[in-house]
Structure 1
Amino acid sequence: MSKLRCHISISLDGYVAGPHQSQEHPLGEGGEGLHDWVVPLAAWRAAHGMEGGAVTASTPVFEESTANIGAAVMGRGMFGPPGRGPWADDEPWYGWWGDEPPYHYPVFVLTHHPRESVEMAGGTTFHFVTEGIESALARAKEAAGGKDVMLYGGGETVRQYLAAGLLDVLELHVVPVLLGGGSRPLDGLGDTDVRLEQVRAVAGDGVAHLTYLVHSGR
């Protein structure tokens, strides 16, 4: 059965992006530091068309996080541009990732503003969903063809799927930085029936990988 999985880097103070997102700072100020553990990995570099890199205790964790994914969901804040709002016709926005995004499967973007699907090089197609999180997940699971669906973020999108009891697996890559502001996916969940069952902890270089199964009364 297809599962909804989320693998996301998070600071010690609970932020998955820093404050003041802009085109100069896609992950907010200081947010790029959340990915310092993964960018040097040979597996990550190969997935982005780059050579070289390291093999560490984080390598199998990263490889597992990218396996068996057939589609993805992300929020408008992660897709961009900063400021959101209606889509601009004069300066079309195709995401942060250039002409060939690294996904290579359908990605369903949550938005309040309709837009035609955008097919990119390398097998990525962005579909824009205005009917809410359950509709986006249903469409993603259908497109995934039995494989899992990845939930990429941002923080508010992760929080919504957790609160709705729709997330199956949550893996937090905890990085020893303090951002002091930005997007926190776990806020406001204390009064829900969401329960996290820890099933793995892996110590990496500059990161701790914590994997949870998500349970709820839904």
Structure 2
Amino acid sequence: MSRTRIHNFSISLDGFGTGEGLSLDAPFGHAGHRMHQWMFATRFGAGIMGGEGGASGVDDAFAQQHEPGIGAEIMGAGKFGPPCWQDDPDWKGWWGPNPPFHTPTFVLTHRPPSQPLEMEGGTTFHFLDTTPEKALELAKEAAGGQDVRIGGGPTMVRDFIAAGLVDHIHFVQVPILLGRGVRVWDGLEGAEAGYDIETVSSPSGVTHLTFTRS
């Protein structure tokens, strides 16, 4: 049975999933890459950055769960590009000609381009202006029985959790305070009641929080 999963989603101690002031030069706003250093240091992170090396251990074990069994991804407009990327007909995402998804990928935006965008390596971006429920229905059909990953950003993650659509959540709490940006937890009071929750602390200083539907 196809599940809906979130993996490797970093949040600050004060609950922000990204910083303020997102732009072409600052994809995570004033947060920079501080929330993702834990992942860049792993073997998984080195691999997705096109390099070699990286550490094994707790962080890498969690990070590696990001890809197996995924048949489609859903992401928000803010993950696909900077504000107003829809005005640039040449914009094809942050990741170059061969994005790391290698599956059908559904981008939710109120200003969807009219045609899908087929990239190298099996990634095709489909642009939709629809509800989380309808997007998940389409993604599950495209996934062919495999799982669907909710890729972010924080508004997208919050909307799917609020709608009760997510079966497995992996948040990584990073020991920094952002103070401003987009918070994940707003409006999700009591959402934990439907999940079994586990926490694992890492020597890197991050804490892995997993929520699995009861």
TM-score (norm. length: structure 2): 0.91
Q: Distance in 1 between matches of 2:32 and 2:161?
A: 22
> 8 Å contact 1:31–1:179 — kept in the other structure?
no
Q: What is the deviation of 1:194? A: 5.9
Residue 99 of structure 2 is matched in structure 1 by: 101
Q: In the TM superposition, what whole-angstrom CA distance separates every residue of 1:51-84 from its partner, at most 9, and x where no partner exists? A: 1211121111111232211110001111122246
Q: Distance in 1 between matches of 2:67 and 2:206?
A: 18
Q: Distance in 2 between matches of 1:114 and 1:9?
A: 27
Q: What is the deviation of 1:185? A: 1.7
Residue 53 of structure 2 is matched in structure 1 by: 52
Tell me which stretches of 4 or more aligned residues in structure 1 moved more than 6 Å.
none
Q: In the TM superposition, what whole-angstrom CA distance separates every residue of 1:128-182 from its partner, at most 9, and x where no partner exists? A: 0112211211111111111111101111111111111111111110100111111
Residue 26 of structure 1 is matched in structure 2 by: 27
* Matched residue count: 211
Residue 159 of structure 1 is matched in structure 2 by: 158
RMSD, matched Cα: 1.7
Q: In the TM superposition, what whole-angstrom CA distance separates every residue of 1:176-206 from its partner, at most 9, and x where no partner exists? A: 011111111210122x666253443222212
Residue 2 of structure 2 is matched in structure 1 by: 2
Residue 176 of structure 1 is matched in structure 2 by: 175
SS of aligned partner of 2:10: strand
TM-score (norm. length: structure 1): 0.90
Q: Distance in 1 between matches of 2:192 and 2:207?
A: 22
Residue 188 of structure 2 is matched in structure 1 by: 189
Residue 110 of structure 2 is matched in structure 1 by: 112
Q: Distance in 1 between matches of 2:213 and 2:181?
A: 24
Residue 212 of structure 2 is matched in structure 1 by: 213
After the TM superposition, which of the residue ranges 164-173 and 197-206 deviates more from structure 2? Answer: 197-206
CA distance 1:164–1:178, shift in 2 (3 Å) = same
- Any gaps of 5 or more consecutive residues in structure 2? none
CA distance 1:193–1:15, shift in 2 (3 Å) = closer
- Greater helix fraction, Structure 1 or Structure 2: 2
Residue 78 of structure 1 is matched in structure 2 by: 79
> 8 Å contact 1:174–1:208 — kept in the other structure?
yes
Q: Distance in 1 between matches of 2:35 and 2:83?
A: 19
